[in-house]
A = this chain, B = another copy of it.
């Protein structure tokens, strides 16, 4: 068994933009020639998170954003914003809740996703960001 480190870089618009990373992961698996093991995806930074969803416009462009705005509204009071005099307290809360890591089994060179299940980054920050996702592959 071997360990390989790969990286995905994406330019985001922030503001809860949902970005599909599935194709990038499949490309990495092809280069890596990994057949069976796991892919650990980890987003560097504390204002974005990773999960899976059905990547269609309703969920990706509206429903996920509306949900996070409802449970952790942008204009609530956050002490974090006093610490740094900034505006992204809600971004941190949403990112901690969603979590920075996702682990996906790889079988026969493919992630074991459902047909309508894609791997997504949600960037909760309040400005465009260049995001780095570390993809650690373990397996044969």
Evaluate contact between B92 and A63: CB separation under 8 angstroms: yes
Query: Cβ of A116: which chain B residues have Cβ within 8 Å of it?
Result: 45-46
Query: Cβ of A61: which chain B residues have Cβ within 8 Å of it?
Result: 79
Any B CB within 8 A of the CB of A15: no
Evaluate contact between B45 and A58: CB separation under 8 angstroms: no
The answer to whether residues A101 and B100 also contact, given A1-B1, A139-B3 and a CB cut-off of 8 A, is no
Q: Is the interface of A mostly helix, strand, loop or mixed?
A: mixed
Any B CB within 8 A of the CB of A136: yes
Distance between Cα atoms of A42 and B104 in the complex (Å): 7
Distance between Cα atoms of A40 and B36 in the complex (Å): 13
Q: Quick one: which of A78-92 are within 8 Å of B by CB?
A: 78-84, 89, 92
Any B CB within 8 A of the CB of A28: no
Evaluate contact between A58 and B44: CB separation under 8 angstroms: no
Extra 4 A-B pairs, beta carbons < 8 Å, given A38-B136, A53-B95: A44-B117, A57-B83, A63-B79, A97-B97
Binding site for B on A (CB under 8 A): 1-3, 5, 36-38, 40, 42, 44-46, 51-54, 56-59, 61-64, 67, 70-72, 78-84, 89, 92-93, 95-107, 112-114, 116-118, 120, 134, 136, 138-140
7 A–B contacts, CB within 8 A, in A order: A1-B138, A40-B103, A52-B96, A59-B78, A64-B93, A97-B98, A112-B134
